[in-house]
Structure 1
Amino acid sequence: MRWNSIRTKLITFMLIATIVPTVATMIISYSYTTDSLKKRAIQENHQLIFQGKTNLANFLENINRASLMVYTDFEFFRQLSRGYDDYTFESYSYITLQNIAASMRDIWQVYLYRNEVKRATLVIQNVPRRLHDEEPNGSALEYTRDGDGIGMQPTHLSQTYGFATSPYYFPSVQVFSLHRKIYRVPSKEEIGLLSIDVKLDALAAIIDQLYQRDKEHIYLLNDDGNVFYSDDRRLIGQRLHEGWYTSSHFQSNGNGHFEKDDAIFIHERIDTPIANWTLVKQIPKSYLLREANRAAVINMMLIALSLVVIIAATIIVSLRITKPISQLVRYINQVQTGNLRVDIQPVSNDEIGVVSKRFRNMMDMINNLILREYQLEIANKTNQLKALQAQINPHFMNNALQSIGTQALQLNAPHIYKLVTALAKMMRYSMYTDQSTATLHEEIEHVKAYLQLQAQRFENTFDAAYENEAATLNVLVPKMTLQPLVENYFKHGLDRGLTSGKLIVRSRFIDEPDGLIEITVEDNGRGMPLQHRIKLNEKLRELYPEQPGVSTTHVLSRNDFVTGEASSGIGLVNVLTRLKLFSGGNANMHVEAVEPQGTRIVIQMKVERDNNEGIDC
């Protein structure tokens, strides 16, 4: 189907009118649904993560309270700060560390180091051990080096703190550790170190309730990006390297949410005296919007089914509406090809049927007018062309010229023979009045014969040149197109006092695929007065081919003949009239001035080619 047809436009419009609102409704509905789901999920998960934050804060507070028992147990702290080192204090130390371990179910082991006596004590699952002349544990020193002497070591496998493997073998488990320096309060003198290892199961019991396993992801991070707990066990104890994680963002925006990497991230910051953590929950949009996506798929299937019905109905309705129009277009195309007797039958009783009936009546009137007017007008134009040719077509002189040429050869006068031969060529060219067209090559040959006679008359005071593209020589033009243009030079432009006259005939294609040709006749004669040239160009511009029953638009006035200014105009108007009749109006002519002097006549027209190819001039 062509885009400029009514049928195509109607089908397109109806499809757009039905598809666009339907698709727009689906898109708006899907967007609204997904937005509502996201808002509701964010709100619900904020509440859930806040509850997890509260539980974790309480959990850390319990660990902190357990570590402070070294201060709150007055007798233990008194003996520790005074540096007692006897059996009684060792027993009391065991009891205090066991109380710390028993204060929380998930404490794995407790480590105590006394600086003055370089003694380390370890209670693991209520089993006490001790070492003498021992240096403090490296991890405990590393994580208590800065700040207020309290540090939280990320998740790791439990260590023995320098103790040999116990007969009571305990396997390594995943723990995170609180390390605290013990001071001789109220001073800042360090008297020992306390480390508490807490099993990772304690965090799992709290955090595993905050997300859907295998659907969502969760992370418990410190400010350095270390993962204390995650649903992905491979990340636990490692530094997090994800595109969405930026430590500065979570520290400056403790609570909130954001979207990235097709997921929604909800985070809460946990600030306590012993640790600063951030709890992050990652919800993939594919999981969050699963219900909306399922509804969208169902809607798309319904829309696809609807579109099939809509397209079928649209095509059927459009075909029924546009069938009469298509039939009328076919009638018009037949008329355009020249079949003026086409049988036009209305195929409907609506407005298109009325147009068909009016078109049929119009064609009947046109056929009658053609019979009465147009054929008569064509005959008149043919007679006008033959009358123009008869001006230089004295048939009876042809035989006489041949006899004269023979006599000239007998009397050894070849120059006279050439002149007579040139004149005979002109006679023969104009004799065939039943042929109104000729190739441009034939026209140029005719002009050459004409100029040969004029050269004899004007004693070779001019030269003729021919600049013609080979492709233009086989195009068809009306007979006697070039001679009137060349003849103007001898009537109005030739200066007999000069011997450097120049006459040039050019032809070239302006647009060869479209058959647009330009023919130029140029001379260096006296030229044409400006006013006369302007007036002549106006006459040529206003001229158009006569139509049946309509007179020409321009007639030269009698004053032009009296003053002698119209002699050249009559020839040019006559030539242009025949060119327009020949080319269906696709021809124009104008006159230009040549510097420093002279005249140029330019013709532009659409032409046809003769079957003869390869003619050179």
Structure 2
Amino acid sequence: MISKWKQNFTNSPLSKKIIIIVLPGISLFAVTILVGFLLTIRSTNHMIYQNTGELLLYSSNDISNNLSSIQDMANFILEDTDIQSSLGKVKDSKSGETSYNAYSKIQIRLNNYYQKFKSNYVNYIQITNQKFSVPSSTIDTYVIPPEIQEHLFQKALEKDGRLYWITDYKDTYGVFLVRSIRRIDNIRLDDLGIMVINVNLKKMLEDLSISSNPDSTSYIISDSKHILYAPDELKDISAETLQTNSDQFYTIKKISGKRFFMVKGRLPITSWDYYCLSPYDNIYKNILFFQHLFILLLVFSFILCILLTRILMKPLLIHFKTLMKKIRVFGDNNFETIDVPYKYENRQDEIGQLHQQFDSMAHKIQTLIKENYEARILAKESQLKALEMQINPHFLYNTLQSIGWRAKLLKDAQISLMTESLGKLLRITLNFENKDSSLRQELELVKYYMNIQGIRYDDSLTYSIDVEEDLLGIYLPKFTLQPLVENAIHYTLEDDSDECFIKIHAHRNKDMVVIIVANTASSFEENLLGKLLLGKILPHGFGIGILNVNKRLELAFGESYKLSFFNKDDFAIAEIYIPYNYMEDKK
């Protein structure tokens, strides 16, 4: 997949490549701006939420203050000397007159407390003992069923004089604060009666909210298990719905399909949880709108940058297209140049240099073509003159063939073999059309050469060829092996050695072919080729042959060959490494 992308990128036009190169930078810049914008919005929202939450918490202090004032009122009533005295006399006396006087005094005091604390949403105050029940108002507008009163009295007695909030009847009669009134005088602490304070919690919370505005803040009171108060639009909510795992005192809560900014707190006096809910849908929609608007503007800017890049590239790319047209016409129309509507002679930028270099190169090529054409004409004339002075090779081949036939008639096998081998050796040597030589042809050339030398030296010269069949077709430059064989004969038999054995061997070693020409009765000087190349040994005779073989291999295989000379096991060895797949790669 990656290689295919690379190939498509390589073959794509220059304009597309520039867009692909510029695109990551523009994308990274756009992503950086987007991330920065979102982080800024998030930080700003956090600060706004923090401040809003603190304001809502501050406004909720009114609830705590009202409940605290009501509890203070209950303590005042408990400590009121008139109420304590009246309740004590009623309990201690058996006359009805005492009960009537005590009732009046208690009602006056309760009415005073009621008038003073009714702004704290107290509906009424009631004190009940065994002989009467005293309300805070002479007009008893709040009628509580006897069974509920009995329950309130029982809870008050169970708490042994402690204040206790009862929320069981919140939906119908409101919230009750009850307490058993005990005698303070002489710390007798006997029960004098039951105090019941009815609180209009709903009214208290509605006044804190702006009920006429649908976007106003709403308050919910919960005792962690039940909802004590919730506005009408949220009356079906449960206490579990309001729970949150956030460590912060504020959060965004989705309730009944609507989003609310919710602040949670606890009333320390009653241990109730309260929740301030402010509608968040409009704010959320505005935030989303601006986020989407920003992303849309960012995408528009991104596209605009790409379009501007393409527009600004056109004046630049027109010169590259002009250069490509000049190159195409020069290659297709017999190396002729064309006129273009732009002048590049005085331009110093890269575009000017490219056009100037191409124009200079085109002029030089045209000059070389002209000179080469003239040189070819002169060369043909020289070849014609040289042919007139040369012996026709076919005449030479025919003459050697005639000598061979004559030797066969005279039954002289050696002369016949020598003339036949010399003819084939000359045919291979003088065949200039055979450019792609092979190991097979080189071995044939060596064979013909050894036939001639074998007649000369008789039994003193022997040789063997050990080459695998699949290696005979590999490429090998002409006259690579014959000079090495000739060297072996020259430094053995021609230097008065009694005999010479020449061994030619070839085998494959991984991706290379190893060719060895080894002979007995002579040896090579250490690092012979290196010394010849460095000029430490002056080449003459065989030295020139080694340098010619090395040059042929270098021209044919570049750096993919190796030629070395060394001695091993009484053999002087010439070793050649060439690539196995050279002919296939060449094709």
| TM tier, smaller | 0.5 to 0.7
Q: What residue is the counterpart of 2:61 in the other structure?
A: 54
Contact 2:157–2:179 (CA<8 Å) still a contact in 1? no
Determine helix, strand or coil for the equivalent of 2:432.
Answer: coil
Distance 2:440 2:468 in 1: 11
Contact kept? 2:440, 2:473, Cα under 8 Å: no
Corresponding residue for residue 243 of structure 2: 241
CA distance in 2, matches of 1:259, 1:600: 86
| Alignment partner, residue 603 of structure 1 | 578
2:478 aligns with: 480
**Distance (whole Å) between structure 2 residues aligned to residue 405 and residue 181 of structure 1:** 156
CA distance in 2, matches of 1:435, 1:204: 112
Could you list the runs of 5+ residues in structure 1 that have no partner in the other structure? 159-171, 251-256, 384-389, 510-517, 540-555, 581-585, 613-617
Structure 1 residue 326, shift from structure 2 partner: 1.9
68 and 610 in structure 1: CA distance in 2 versus 1, 3 angstrom threshold: closer
Deviations 1:253-280 (A, max 9, x none): xxxx67999x996747565444465655
Give, in whole Å, the separation in 2 of the partners of 1:593 and 1:96: 136
Equivalent residue runs for 1:523-538 within 5 Å: 529-535=525-531
1:367 Cα deviation from its structure 2 partner: 2.4
Q: Distance in 2 between matches of 1:81 and 1:416?
A: 166
Tell me the equivalent position of 2:388.
none
Partner residue, 1:589: 561
2:467 pairs, out of 465, 472, 479, with 465
Task: Give the counterpart of 1:446 among 435, 441, 455.
Answer: 441
Distance 1:239 1:45, change over 3 A: closer
Aligned to 2:4: none
Q: Deviations over 1:363-418 (max 9, x none)?
A: 122222244369969999xx9xxxxxx99x9745873697599889x99x9x9999
What is the letter of the counterpart of residue 570 of structure 1?
N
The answer to whether the 8 A contact 1:101-1:126 is kept is no
CA-CA distance at 1:432 after TM superposition? 3.8
Tell me how far apart the structure 2 counterparts of residues 568 and 177 of structure 1 sit (CA, whole Å).
Answer: 122
Question: Structure 1 residues 58 and 112 mapped into 2: Cα distance closer, same or farther (>3 Å)?
Answer: same
In structure 2, how many angstroms separate the alpha carbons of the residues matched to 1:215 and 1:405? 132
Contact 1:175-1:199 within 8 A present in 2 as well: yes
Instruction: Output aligned runs, 1:87-236, within 5 Å.
Output: 88=99, 104=118, 126-127=142-143, 149-150=162-163, 158=170, 172-173=171-172, 175=174, 178=177, 185=184, 191=191, 198-209=199-210, 220=221, 228-229=228-229, 232-236=234-238
Aligned length: 526
Inter-partner Cα distance in structure 1 for 2:463 and 2:188? 129
Partner residue of 1:543?
Answer: none
| Residue 355 (structure 2) aligns with | 356
Pair 1:320 & 2:315 matched: yes
CA–CA separation in structure 1 for the residues paired with 2:157 and 2:448: 126
The aligned residue for residue 75 of structure 2 is: 68
Indicate the residue corresponding to 1:546 in structure 2.
none
Structure whose residues are more often helix by fraction: 2
| 1:571 correspondence with 2:572 | no
1:140 deviates by 6.8
2: CA distance between counterparts of 1:378 and 1:120?
144
Is residue 2:335 matched to residue 1:341? yes
Distance of aligned partners of 1:325 and 1:135 in 2 relative to their CA distance in 1, 3 Å threshold = closer
Counterparts of 2:377 and 2:85, CA distance in 1: 137
Larger radius of gyration: 2
Q: Per the alignment, do residues 196 and 324 of structure 1 end up closer, same or farther by CA in structure 2, a change over 3 Å counting?
A: same
Aligned partners of 2:480 and 2:549 also within 8 Å: no
Query: Is the contact between residue 439 and residue 473 of structure 2 (CA under 8 Å) also seen in structure 1?
Result: no
Change (3 A) 1:41 1:379: farther
Change (3 A) 1:239 1:575: closer
Checking the alignment, whether the CA contact within 8 Å between 2:262 and 2:278 is kept in structure 1 is: yes
Match of 1:43 in 2: 51
Query: Does the CA contact (< 8 Å) of 2:400 and 2:419 recur in 1?
Result: no
Change (3 A) 1:315 1:129: closer
- Given the superposition, is the C-alpha separation of residues 113 and 372 from structure 1 closer, same or farther in structure 2, using an over 3 Å criterion? farther
Pair 1:92–1:327, CA change in 2 (3 A):
same
What is the match of residue 504 of structure 1?
506
Instruction: Give the deviation of 1:318 after TM superposition.
Output: 1.9
Superposed, 1:359-378 pairs within 5 Å as: 359-372=358-371
Give the gaps of 5 or more residues in structure 2: 1-7, 384-391, 455-459
1:328 Cα deviation after fit:
0.6
**Structure 2 counterpart SS, 1:347:** coil
SS at match of 2:326: helix
Relative contact order: is structure 1 or structure 2 higher (C-alpha 8 Å, sep ≥ 6)?
A: 1
Secondary structure, counterpart of 2:51 in structure 1: helix
Asked whether the 8 Å contact 1:468–1:508 carries over to 2, the reply is no
TM-score (norm 1): 0.60
* Deviation (angstroms), 1:324: 1.9
The one-letter amino acid of 1:573's match is K
Aligned twin of 1:513: none
**For residues 71 and 174 of structure 1, do their structure 2 counterparts lie closer, same or farther at Cα, with a shift above 3 Å needed?**
closer
Shift of 1:71: 0.2
Counterpart code for 2:54:
H
Mapped to 2, the partners of 1:280 and 1:498 lie a distance apart of 115
Counterpart residue number, 1:521: 515
Q: In 2, distance between residues paired with 1:13 and 1:565? A: 58
Q: CA deviation at 1:487?
A: 4.2
Provide the secondary structure at the position in 2 that maps to 1:480.
coil
Counterpart code for 2:243:
H
After superposition, the CA RMSD in angstroms is 6.3
Residue 126 of structure 1 aligns with an amino acid whose one-letter code is Y
Distance 1:571 1:258 in 2: 90
- Could you say if the C-alpha distance between residues 610 and 569 of structure 1 is closer, same or farther in structure 2, counting changes exceeding 3 Å? closer
Q: Alpha carbons of 1:212 and 1:14: their partners in 2 closer, same or farther (altered >3 Å)? A: farther
Q: Give aligned-pair identity as a percent.
A: 12
CA distance in 1, matches of 2:490, 2:190: 128
Following the alignment from structure 2 to structure 1, what is the Cα–Cα distance between the partners of residues 87 and 526?
128
**Following the alignment from structure 2 to structure 1, what is the Cα–Cα distance between the partners of residues 14 and 188?**
95
Question: Match for 1:46: what amino acid?
Answer: E
